[in-house]
């Protein structure tokens, strides 16, 4: 089955020999490739220096946006490679008392809390205390009595709740006002019956109710309150010692009060107490504290060897970042240079995901409540994380973060991680060149062919036809002048170029999943 890899002028698909025969040949051949993993890494040693040099520009962007959008206060932070490199604040957390915002100011971050809830569920799963595909009713017995839209509707699972696919209607305006509800109120609500907009698993629809249910599942499984579990198992291990749930427990000089902009003035929004819906949006935190959480997520990338240091495994964090539900195609999306660049979006576990036409991925979540708006995002392949909090109702903090990230990318062109060439690819590319040279004269290189080519090779293209094609290519390029380095796509797939005195070709090759990987596909494309 072809995998969507482009087919060029001369497609050369490869190989033969049974495993027992080929292993014997490999073990006695001096050029057997070593199976090893080389993780992607940044090659720009000036990353932090370049970011620090942009501090003034970043601060100006946030200040201008806060002023244009009438934010009473805005606090921000830029994380790079696990460190809070830039941070700042503008405006007032308490307008009447003229209390200035700082990076230690305590903002309610609303739905940015959801990924903590998801992380708790994944942690409990990793500990063997629940299964993501368990019916949610196993832990919330009230759900056993719900009436679904159709007779053939599947039951709601924990995974449905995580990925916003339980069939509940979008409930932002209503859900935001439930924050202070107590556990019994949630149970009473479920028992009275739930209205569904879809059957479970059909599609994504944002649900605060679903995350309130997840919070109650965390409590049921762990044996402590949701808030206590998050504090003990996530906040304390991360050193997020200033983060709180209940606003009345926060120093008034640090607490950001919420406002709405109405009649050309800021009007206070009443603060809501913590409750069962805290799992969907209750955390109150600082830029300095939250940067540690963003660093945890960002440093889950790339996959690598070594001991996990976080409260949750790196692989589980990456699982959270994966798009489990499709959200939409954004045809009008713009790239950092302002050009049109469509993007596709999805939803993971308490986190949104987006990839644009340039292949740039971001993981993010916004937060909005009466009096507050916030967003954080990180770019796994770039090592960046950006956070901003504001104390205005549903403040579009993500717009400011986008402006900052676009500016940083255009100013300093921070490159993504560079994937080193695996020894396996390097050795196989050298052997391709030996074959290429050997086929030039059509001499018998059977031993090398058996050694490097997979069993499908000459079944897909007869050897005689291959030799004819290679001979044509070599006449096109003339005498080989240089061979370029392999540009890897992953550990077992890459491209390199052959430059001749007359012309050049690009060589694409991909290897098999065998213990000793062999070449299963080889494509040549003439460069004009």
| 304 token code pair | 């690598």
Do β-strands 372-379 and 384-390 pair in parallel, antiparallel, or remain unpaired?
A: antiparallel
How far apart are the C-alpha atoms of 1 and 460, rounded to whole Å?
A: 12
Specify the DSSP class assigned to residue 26: H
How far apart are the C-alpha atoms of 496 and 506, rounded to whole Å?
A: 6
pLDDT at 443: 58
In order along its 528 residues, the chain shows pLDDT tens digits of 444 433 333 333 333 333 333 333 444 444 667 668 889 999 988 999 999 999 999 999 999 999 999 999 999 999 999 999 999 999 999 999 999 999 999 999 999 999 999 999 999 999 999 999 999 999 999 999 999 999 999 999 999 999 999 999 999 989 888 999 999 999 999 999 999 999 999 999 999 999 999 999 999 999 999 999 999 999 999 999 999 999 999 999 999 999 999 999 999 999 999 999 999 999 999 999 999 999 999 999 999 999 998 999 999 999 999 999 999 999 988 877 788 999 999 999 999 999 999 999 999 999 999 999 999 999 999 999 999 999 999 999 999 999 999 999 888 778 899 999 999 999 999 999 998 887 766 556 778 888 899 999 999 988 888 888 899 999 999 999 999 999 999 999 999 999 999 999 999 999 999 999 999 999 999 998
How far apart are the C-alpha atoms of 127 and 311, rounded to whole Å?
A: 12
- Cβ atoms 185, 179 nearer than 8 A: no
pLDDT at 27: 44
Do β-strands 493-500 and 99-100 pair in parallel, antiparallel, or remain unpaired?
A: unpaired
The pTM is what? Answer: 0.90
Do β-strands 107-108 and 259-262 pair in parallel, antiparallel, or remain unpaired?
A: unpaired
Do β-strands 372-379 and 361-369 pair in parallel, antiparallel, or remain unpaired?
A: antiparallel
Identify which of 344, 323, 298 has the alpha carbon closest to the alpha carbon of residue 162: 323
Q: Rounded to whole angstroms, what are the CA distances from 434 to 50, 424, 447, 472?
A: 44, 16, 12, 17
pLDDT at 361: 96
Identify which of 276, 185, 290 has the alpha carbon closest to the alpha carbon of residue 235: 290
Specify the DSSP class assigned to residue 234: I
| 395 token code pair | 């403040």
Contacts of 385 (CB under 8 A, 6+ apart): 78, 79, 80, 291, 294, 295, 297, 298, 376, 377, 378, 379
How far apart are the C-alpha atoms of 112 and 375, rounded to whole Å?
A: 7
pLDDT at 219: 98
pLDDT at 444: 60
């Amino acid at each position: 089955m072809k995998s969507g890899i482009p087919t060029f002028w001369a497609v050369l698909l490869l190989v033969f020999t049974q495993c027992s025969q080929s292993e014997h040949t490999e073990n006695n051949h001096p050029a057997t490739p070593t199976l090893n993993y080389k993780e992607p890494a940044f090659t720009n040693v000036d990353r932090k220096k370049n970011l620090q040099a942009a501090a003034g520009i970043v601060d100006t962007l946030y200040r201008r946006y806060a002023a244009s959008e009438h934010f009473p206060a805005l606090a921000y932070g830029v994380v790079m490679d696990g460190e809070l490199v830039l941070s700042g604040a503008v405006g007032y957390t308490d307008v009447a008392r003229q209390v200035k915002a700082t990076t230690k100011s305590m903002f309610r971050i609303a739905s940015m809390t959801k990924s903590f809830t998801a992380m708790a569920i994944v942690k409990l799963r990793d500990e063997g205390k629940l299964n993501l595909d368990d019916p949610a009713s196993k832990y919330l017995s009230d759900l056993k009595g719900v009436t679904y839209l159709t007779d053939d509707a599947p039951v709601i699972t924990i995974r449905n709740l995580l990925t916003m696919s339980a069939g509940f209607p979008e409930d932002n305006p209503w859900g935001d006002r439930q924050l202070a509800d107590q556990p019994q109120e949630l149970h009473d609500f479920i028992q009275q019956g739930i209205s569904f907009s879809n059957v479970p698993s059909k599609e994504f629809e944002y649900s605060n109710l679903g995350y309130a249910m997840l919070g109650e599942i965390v409590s049921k499984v762990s044996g402590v309150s949701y808030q206590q579990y998050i504090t003990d198992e996530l906040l304390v291990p991360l050193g997020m010692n200033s983060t709180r749930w209940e606003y009345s427990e926060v120093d008034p000089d640090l607490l950001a009060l919420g406002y709405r902009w109405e009649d050309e003035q800021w009007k206070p929004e009443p603060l809501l107490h913590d409750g069962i819906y805290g799992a969907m949006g209750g955390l109150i935190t600082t830029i300095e504290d939250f940067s540690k959480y963003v660093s945890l997520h960002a440093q889950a990338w790339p996959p690598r060897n070594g001991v996990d240091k976080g409260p949750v495994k790196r692989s589980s964090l990456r699982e959270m970042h994966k798009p489990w539900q499709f959200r939409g195609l954004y045809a009008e999306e713009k790239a950092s240079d302002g050009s049109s660049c469509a993007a596709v979006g999805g939803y993971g576990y308490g986190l949104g995901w987006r990839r644009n036409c340039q292949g740039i991925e971001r993981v993010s979540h916004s937060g909005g409540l009466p009096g507050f708006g916030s967003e954080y995002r990180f770019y796994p392949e770039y090592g960046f994380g950006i956070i901003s909090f504001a104390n205005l109702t549903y403040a579009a903090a993500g717009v400011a973060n986008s402006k900052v990230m676009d500016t940083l990318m255009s100013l300093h062109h921070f490159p993504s991680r560079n994937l080193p060439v695996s020894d396996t690819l390097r050795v196989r590319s050298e052997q391709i060149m030996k074959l290429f040279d050997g086929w030039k004269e059509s001499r018998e290189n059977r031993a090398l062919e058996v050694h490097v080519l997979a069993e499908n090779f000459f079944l897909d293209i007869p050897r005689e036809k291959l030799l004819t094609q290679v001979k044509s290519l070599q006449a096109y390029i003339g005498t080989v002048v240089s061979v370029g380095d392999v540009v890897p796509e992953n550990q077992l797939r890459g491209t390199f170029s052959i430059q001749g005195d007359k012309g050049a070709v690009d060589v694409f090759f991909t290897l098999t999943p065998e213990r000793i990987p062999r070449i299963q596909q080889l494509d040549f494309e003439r460069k004009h």
